[in-house]
Amino acid sequence: MNYILCLHRWAGTQALYDQYTLADETIIRAICTSEAVASLPQKRCESYAVVPSMDDNEGVLNAAKKIVAEFGPPKLVVGLNEGDLINAANIRELYCLPGDNVTWAARFRDKVKMNNIAEGQDAFPILSAATVISTEQVHDFANKHGYPVVVKPKFGTASRGVRVIRNKNDFAGGRKHLATEPMMVQAYCDAPTLHIDGWWDGEQLVVATASRYLNNCMQFGPSKPLGSVELANGDEEDQILLKVGKLLAVFSPRREMVFHLELFDCEHELLFLEIAARVGGAEIPFVWRDVHRIDLVGIAWEIQVGKSTGIRDAARLAATNGHLHASERGGWVIGSAPSSGVVAAESVYWSMESNPKNRASGVYEGAGSRVRLRGGDHANLVRDAQICISELSVPDMSQSSCEVVKALSIADSYPVSAANCAKPEP
């Protein structure tokens, strides 16, 4: 029987495999971790192989070889999570299967390569970046572009392994850090960050929303939650999406993709940070499905499997020129520490139960607290997201409670001096 080999790492229901279209007489075989077994499709998954980590490239490839040895090559390989894109491409190339190859997948995983590609567009300025293998190269870059600089994994996700180097003496353990995996250095910017999520069909932006992080992804940790709220339907989002279409025409001409784009908001201009050819993380897939009735993961499935267009057809009807017709917007907040109960905010429509049995291990999916919000009044939505951040924060004992609340009471707009950003590439 024909089968699709699915690389699956989510412990939750981001992907509704049993609802997605498959060719007749086709089943799913999967490679996953033990924590992801429970979220495999109950009806369609014929077998699965468990690996200790989906980030173990050799382990995933060996599992695929064993499956092929027993059942023959798959018809297709599907990987919907960012961490699985290159492994899926490697398996396709090994068995001469259709779909994205390694070169294509790498342009959305290798952050230096994507920065180089971004040089070919004029919608958003970029920040200087380079591959580094030594502390000397880091400091040479900083001497040229100015401190501080950011050192991070070239193929990193979820702000893992990111370090800000503020002066020539501020890189303790640098050699060891650089030796862990391929690394890069980039000019530093401390401006607020936007993320844009949606679907590009190769020629036009079909549907997308722009969102603003309410705090800093790099600060997400034991005491600090992370939150985001979609922008209100209006001129600000319109102008952003117009530029996003120009960017995507350079990154993915005549080739459709679901994407997650991040930009720095430097008051008078937006700077390119990074782009991924996958659905955004944290609660983004759920907010899109619940609030906008659009399954971005399902669209990614349709693109990779190529059997149907039903989910995409429905998405086209919900938007014009990339803009959603409905004015309701969504948001989310995640915290590392488990919550003590339900967050009391009017816009909250879902919150994770305290201490769930099957808590995931991922940085964002494994958050101890997860909250989703929705509403038609944007000011109330932002206010309630701020309440969630306050309630899910672990207080810093060096601050009074009034200072903590004041620090979280940021405005709906986030003016930041352009001086906070390193000078972008021309």
pLDDT on residue 256: 97
- Tell which phi-psi region holds residue 306, choosing left (phi > 0), alpha (psi between -120 and 50) or beta: left
Q: Are 329 and 374 spatial neighbours (Cβ–Cβ below 8 Å)?
A: yes
Indicate if 300 and 397 belong to the same structural domain: yes
Last residue of a domain, one of 187, 216, 235: 187
Residues 6 or more apart whose CB falls under 8 angstroms from that of 410 comprise: 214, 386
Calpha distance 326→349 (Å, rounded): 18
Q: What is the CATH number of the domain that holds 277?
A: 3.30.470.20
Whether residues 226 and 340 share a domain: the answer is yes
Is residue 214 located within the same domain as residue 141?
Answer: no
182 within domain boundaries:
yes
- Do 208 and 311 share a domain, yes or no? yes
Asked whether residue 60 is assigned to any structural domain, the reply reads yes
CA distance 60 to 36: 14
Q: What is the pLDDT of residue 158?
A: 67
Residue 114 lies in a domain: no
Does residue 118 lie in a domain region? no
- Which of 168, 187, 206 delimits the end of a domain? 187
Of residues 344, 411, 350, the one with CA closest to residue 378? 411
Q: Which among 209, 302, 251, 10 is positioned nearest to 108, based on CA atoms?
A: 251
pLDDT at residue 415, rounded to an integer? 33
- Mean pLDDT per 10-residue segment, the chain (426 residues): 96 95 95 96 96 96 98 98 96 98 95 95 96 93 94 82 87 85 93 96 98 80 84 94 97 97 93 96 97 98 96 97 96 84 84 71 79 96 94 62 34 34 49
Do residue 308 and residue 161 come from a single domain? no
pLDDT of amino acid 403? 35
Domain span including residue 20:
2-106
pLDDT at 56: 95
**264 and 343 both lie in a single domain:** yes
Q: What is the pLDDT of residue 171?
A: 85
| Together in a domain, 175 and 265 | no
Read off the CATH number of the domain in which 136 is found: 3.30.1490.20
Q: Say if residue 151 is in the same domain as residue 296.
A: no
153 in any annotated domain: yes
Greatest Cα pair distance in the chain: 64
Tell me, yes or no, whether 425 lies in a domain. no
Q: What is the pLDDT of residue 220?
A: 64
Give the residue from 187, 204, 234 where a domain finishes.
187
- Global pTM reads 0.89
Rounded-to-integer distance, Cα 105 and Cα 84, Å: 10
Do 224 and 166 share a domain, yes or no? no
**Residue 277 phi, psi (nearest 5):** -95, 65
Q: In the prediction, which pLDDT does 414 show? A: 32
CA distance linking residue 196 with residue 11, whole number of Å: 24
What does the alpha-carbon distance between residue 148 and residue 345 come to, in Å, rounded to a whole number? 38
Q: CB pairs under 8 A, 24+ apart, for 223-226?
A: 223/336, 223/337, 223/393, 223/394, 223/395, 223/396, 224/336, 224/393, 224/394, 225/333, 225/334, 225/335, 225/336, 225/369, 225/388, 225/389, 225/392, 225/393, 226/282, 226/333, 226/334, 226/335, 226/364
- Evaluate whether residue 122 is within a structural domain: no
Indicate whether 270 and 356 sit together in one domain.
Answer: yes
Number of domains within the chain:
3
Distance CA 278, CA 204 (A): 17
Domain identity same for 218 and 168: no
* Residues 293 and 376: beta-carbon distance below 8 Å: no
Please report whether residue 119 resides in a domain. no
Residues 374 and 237 in one domain: yes
Two tokens, residue 29: 């075989």
The CATH number of whichever domain residue 10 belongs to comes to: 3.40.50.20
**Nearest to residue 315, comparing CAs of 339, 297, 333?**
297
